[in-house]
Structure 1
Amino acid sequence: MPKPDKIEIESITSPGRTQWVDRGKYSAMRSALLGVLPQTPPGVSVAIAKQSLLPALPADLFPAGATAGWWLKAVQLDLEAKGVIERAAGKPVRLFKHAVVGRTAVTS
């Protein structure tokens, strides 16, 4: 049964496995991450994305950026599993928003 203060997330690295996490932190990180990712490859590295999104995170949820790294990875893997964002080929990992022909899948 759904929990009002939780959201169920997936991971591209563990298909079929889900996890319940704090809805407020997930939503804040999702919004911040989508706000810094470009629409086209090659995208931005995870390190640059984190550096860019930290100022957009609510201080009451992420005081001084606490736990932002874990939440960034959780949201990244969930959005990849859902096809909202993609990785560009190569290293380091670079992320960008998934585009659908004729329109954009996600807007920030």
Structure 2
Amino acid sequence: MSIQWEFRAERGAGVLAVTGFLGQDAAHRFQGAFDWALARCEGPLVVDMAALRGWNCSGEDAILDATHRLPVGRGPLAVCGLGLRDAPVLTTAAALSVVRLFPDLDMALAALAAP
């Protein structure tokens, strides 16, 4: 199983919503989606994973790798909707310096809109 994705602008941010399973086989598709969204978004970018069916460490690594392609001045990447999923790669101190985790999309957008 691979991932599907959708991009939309919402409250001044780009939202990349991901569904399916984000693993090693889908990492390249995620990278393409991320780059596509980044090219069409001038503000902050949120990766919404609320509808994701599952992922593994390769999927987490793909998200962390995407942070290296963020232009200077965009700030950390926002990721939301993990729910009860385990995220050992994204919750390390090093990852938390480039990724901001939020429980849901509304909280992510509110935090990004705050001065």
TM-score by length of 1: 0.27
The higher radius of gyration belongs to 1
| Structure number having the greater strand percentage | 2
Give the TM-score taking structure 2 as reference length. Answer: 0.26
Greater relative contact order (Cα < 8 A, sep 6+): 1
